[in-house]
Amino acid sequence: MNARWTYFLLLLGLPGLLWLATLRVEGEGALSMPMVRLPLEPPDNPQTPAKVALGRRLFYDTRLSADGTVACASCHKPAFAFSDGGQRFSRGVGGQEGQRNAPSLTNVGHRRALFWEGRSPRLELQAVGPLTAHNEMAMTPEALAQRLEAIPSYAQAFREVFGEPPSLRMVTFALAAFQRTLLSYNSPFDRFQAGDLKALSPAAQRGMELFFSERGDCFHCHTGPEFTDDTPHNTALYTVYPDIGLARATGRDEDVGKFKTPTLRNVALTAPYMHDGSIPTLREVVMHYNRGGQPNLNADVLIRPLGLSEQEIDDLVAFLESLTDRSFTANPNLLPPAEP
Amino acid sequence: MQRWLLLWPLFALALAAPVELKLNLRVGGQPLQFGQTYQTPQKQRYQIDLLKFYLSEVALVRPDGSEVRVPGLVLAEFKPGGPTQGVTLMRFEAPPGTYRGIRFNVGVPRELNHLDAATQSPPLGVNSGMYWAWNPGYIFFKLEGRAFLEPERRWVIHMGTDAFRIPVRLQDLQTPRLVLNLPGRGGSILLNLDVGAAFLPGPGGAFLDWRQEELRQLHGLSPQTRAFMGLVYQNLIQAFSLASPPLQSR
């Protein structure tokens, strides 16, 4: 393990892991320790404790928005796995409503593609979007730099961390460093994988078998330890998409209705679902896929009626709920700092 | 031989004349003034609040069609409180002589447009205010303002992606109408940009109707608004012109 990350984990705690370290798996006498996957650090933005602390302050600070009412955390709330807590669309400056559901930031440091279209390659660039979008935080690079420079504690912190005054670029670097610490690997599913065979209920175990089978067919897109392929797909949510998705960026007809596969970690905390928050519950999401979606020429080839029974739908939902990591949402090191 | 080599810098100096590329902002035939209300051909009243654009791949065109290419990329920015007339966009050197025009692109060259913006230096990079987070690459041309509807509405035109790099060709190799004689002491090439031309109607009378919400936020390649972005693009290709006289010697 990278020495710097080791230091981070020790510093930041991850209380759930510490708790786990004291557990013994009944009947096996072995420790059950889920594996934490650490994001790669970009060479131009190495993690440091001071940078993470600065990013954390910025993440929760509404002064980063033009009218001082919106912070990153306004739409990415810790209690909801850093999604927007039941809101279909988030509200930006002046109460303006966005057009898409705020995604969870669970393990966002592992995303290779960001935004619902998946068109941003790294956290340092992604953050420019919400900070400057007219209906989100609506800041200009000049206004942001001036405002932070006028706050002595920020002016000093930026110089200590980056050796230069505040700027939009440095704000995004600090935010990215904090977001790379949003790590969640302590769900019942993780503990089950680590050897605690009682961590999953029988229903969740049946759901897991379905999830990873060709019959349930969830795992082709929600793949790997992050439960996402980071790739846009058309999931036949609509026949005519009001929001055209990836096509907005590419202009190609075949990209209409394509949105990036979201992670399913902590998915039970991130309702409502889909890019537009149009499906209120997990069960209804599973039912959508079970029906095979709506007729759509761009629909992914894997979208078709699945023929799952009501019991199987319940089992899949039980499995999805087992991906919830309460130690993540309660981790004090990820919550608002004492002094914003 | 050594003596000739020592004289080479003097020859080189004689071969390179300093050139300033300057710009006047216009609305129709009048100089643009921030804070002044203008009217589109469709009688919608508006003000301009911000104009920013990248200028790159500049070249002076010789009578034989060959080019003197000017390296570099600049970001022009115009906003209230700043000048709008005779603003220097870039300085470069070119051999004295006769030219038949100038060409340039409004935009960022493709080879720079898709590099990691987090690591690029000014005028590129995220601090430029021209980086498009959700759509890798830069906004090439940014025009923002207000429309005096009921109520007043803000509108933006953020043009970018490789498909919307604006090629401006102010050259004439076929007729003798356009001749730029660059003297050895150098000079200024003066351009006009008619900002109001962005709002001219297109075929069939289509126009940027700010009463429609989606046309007040014109971004990127969206098929929903691409026709209107294309209309503005076509208008902007023709919105640049050479001032009269186009070249002023020093």
A299 and A201 co-located in one domain: yes
Q: pLDDT digit of tens for each residue in chain A (340 aa)? A: 455 555 555 445 444 444 444 444 443 444 567 889 999 999 999 999 999 999 999 999 999 999 999 999 999 999 999 999 999 999 999 999 999 999 999 999 999 999 999 999 999 999 999 999 999 999 999 999 999 999 999 999 999 999 999 999 999 999 999 999 999 999 999 999 999 999 999 999 999 999 999 999 999 999 999 999 999 999 999 999 999 999 988 889 999 999 999 999 999 999 999 999 999 999 999 999 999 999 999 999 999 999 999 999 999 999 999 999 999 999 999 999 986 5
A91 and A131 co-located in one domain: yes
Tell me the shortest Cα–Cα distance from B51 to chain A, in angstroms: 14
For residue B11, what pLDDT band results from cuts at 50, 70 and 90?
Answer: low
pLDDT for res B7 = 56
Alpha-carbon gap, residue A39 to A101, rounded angstroms: 24
A204 and A320 co-located in one domain: yes
For residue B5, what pLDDT band results from cuts at 50, 70 and 90?
Answer: low
Flag if B126 and A168 touch (Cβ within 8 Å): yes
What residues of A are in contact with residue B220 (Cβ under 8 Å)?
A: 248-249, 251
Which residue from B119, B129, B223 is facing A251, i.e. has the nearest CB? B223
A192 and A320 co-located in one domain: yes
Nearest partner of A206 among A59, A319, A74, judged by Cα? A319
Alpha-carbon gap, residue A54 to A337, rounded angstroms: 10
Flag if B116 and A256 touch (Cβ within 8 Å): no
A160 and A232 co-located in one domain: no
A127 and A222 co-located in one domain: no
pLDDT for res A251 = 83
* CB-based contact, A169 to chain B, within 8 Å: yes
Per residue in B138-184, pLDDT tens?
999 999 999 999 899 999 999 998 989 999 999 998 888 899 999 99
Which residue from B116, B127, B154 is facing A167, i.e. has the nearest CB? B127
Q: Which CATH number fits the domain that encloses residue A104?
A: 1.10.760.10
* CB-based contact, B220 to chain A, within 8 Å: yes
In a domain, A26, yes or no: no
pLDDT for res A22 = 40
Phi first, then psi: give them for residue A59, nearest 5 degrees.
Answer: -60, -35
* CB-based contact, B118 to chain A, within 8 Å: yes
Per residue in B229-246, pLDDT tens?
999 999 999 999 999 888
A197 and A313 co-located in one domain: yes
Q: Structural domain tally of chain A?
A: 2
- The residue among B79, B126, B157, B158 with the most chain A CBs within 10 A of its CB, best to mutate, is B126
pLDDT for res B222 = 75
A204 and A88 co-located in one domain: no
Flag if B129 and A140 touch (Cβ within 8 Å): yes
Flag if B133 and A253 touch (Cβ within 8 Å): no
B201-221 burial by CB neighbour count: b if 16+ within 10 A, else e? Answer: eeeeeebbebeeeebbebbbb
Flag if B129 and A169 touch (Cβ within 8 Å): no
**Residue range B53-67: average pLDDT?**
97
In a domain, A34, yes or no: no
Which of the 8 DSSP states describes residue B232? Answer: H
Which residue from A45, A129, A247 is facing B133, i.e. has the nearest CB? A129
pLDDT for res A248 = 86
What is the residue whose two structure tokens read 């629909």?
A: A299
Which of the 8 DSSP states describes residue B131? Answer: B
pLDDT for res B2 = 58
Contact A93, A65 (CB under 8 A): yes
pLDDT for res A289 = 98
Alpha-carbon gap, residue B208 to B241, rounded angstroms: 23
Tell me the shortest Cα–Cα distance from B149 to chain A, in angstroms: 19
| pLDDT surpasses 70 at B13 | no
ipTM confidence = 0.86
Lowest mean pLDDT among A155-169, B22-36, B202-216: B202-216
Tell me how far CA of residue A39 lies from CA of A4, A5, A17, A112, B210, in angstroms: 12, 9, 17, 10, 45
Alpha-carbon gap, residue A4 to B195, rounded angstroms: 53
* CB-based contact, A46 to chain B, within 8 Å: no
Contact A248, B220 (CB under 8 A): yes
Reduced to 3 states (helix: H, G, I; strand: E, B; else coil), residue B113 is helix
Alpha-carbon gap, residue A139 to A131, rounded angstroms: 6
Ramachandran class of B183: left when φ > 0, alpha when ψ lies in -120 to 50, beta otherwise: beta
In a domain, B91, yes or no: yes
Ramachandran class of A13: left when φ > 0, alpha when ψ lies in -120 to 50, beta otherwise: left
Sign of CA pseudo-dihedral B165, B170, B171, B175: positive
In a domain, A2, yes or no: no
* CB-based contact, A134 to chain B, within 8 Å: yes
Percent of chain B with pLDDT over 90: 78
In a domain, A23, yes or no: no
Sign of CA pseudo-dihedral B213, B216, B219, B223: positive
pLDDT for res B14 = 56
- Considering only residues B11 and B250, tell me which one the structure prediction assigns the higher pLDDT: B250
Tell me the shortest Cα–Cα distance from A87 to chain B, in angstroms: 22
A106 and A123 co-located in one domain: yes
User: How many angstroms separate the most distant Cα atoms in chain B?
Assistant: 77
| Enclosing domain of residue B235 | 33-249
Any residues with CB less than 8 A from the CB of A224 and at least 6 apart, and which? none
> Taking chain B, what is the end-to-end CA distance rounded to the nearest angstrom?
35
- Considering only residues B126 and A20, tell me which one the structure prediction assigns the higher pLDDT: B126
Ramachandran class of B203: left when φ > 0, alpha when ψ lies in -120 to 50, beta otherwise: beta
- Considering only residues B4 and A228, tell me which one the structure prediction assigns the higher pLDDT: A228
Contact B160, B128 (CB under 8 A): no
Contact A294, A281 (CB under 8 A): no
pLDDT for res A28 = 44
* CB-based contact, A298 to chain B, within 8 Å: no
Alpha-carbon gap, residue B108 to B120, rounded angstroms: 13
A306 and A320 co-located in one domain: yes
What's at A275, amino acid-wise? H
| Enclosing domain of residue A174 | 49-182+327-334
Which helix (H) or strand (E) segment is B8 a member of? helix B2-15
In a domain, A20, yes or no: no
What's at A180, amino acid-wise? R
3-class SS string, chain A: CCHHHHHHHHHHCCHHHHHHHCCCCCCCCCCCCCCCCCCCCCCCCCCCHHHHHHHHHHHCCHHHCCCCCCCHHHHCEHHHCCECCCCCCCECHHHCECCCCCCCCCCHHHCCCECCCCCECCHHHHCHHHHHCCCCCCCCHHHHHHHHHCCHHHHHHHHHHHCCCCCHHHHHHHHHHHHCCCCCCCCHHHHHHCCCCCCCCHHHHHHHHHHCCCCCCCCCCCCCCCCCCCCEECCCCCCCCCCCECHHHHCCHHHCCEEECCCCCCHHHCCCECCCCCECCHHHHHHHHHHCCCCCCCCCCCCCCCCCCHHHHHHHHHHHHCCCCHHHHCCHHHCCCCCC
Reduced to 3 states (helix: H, G, I; strand: E, B; else coil), residue B46 is strand
Whole-angstrom Cα Rg for chain B: 20
Token pair of B165, please? 């790099």
A56 and A150 co-located in one domain: yes
pLDDT for res A24 = 41
Tell me the shortest Cα–Cα distance from A43 to chain B, in angstroms: 11
B62: burial class by Cβ within 10 Å (0-12, 13-18, 19+)? middle
- Considering only residues B132 and A288, tell me which one the structure prediction assigns the higher pLDDT: A288
pLDDT for res B223 = 75
- Considering only residues B248 and A232, tell me which one the structure prediction assigns the higher pLDDT: A232
A92 and A175 co-located in one domain: yes
What residues of A are in contact with residue B154 (Cβ under 8 Å)?
A: 134
Alpha-carbon gap, residue A139 to A136, rounded angstroms: 9
Flag if A121 and B119 touch (Cβ within 8 Å): no
- The residue among A44, A99, A111, A119 with the most chain B CBs within 10 A of its CB, best to mutate, is A119
What's at A224, amino acid-wise? G
Q: Structural domain tally of chain B?
A: 1
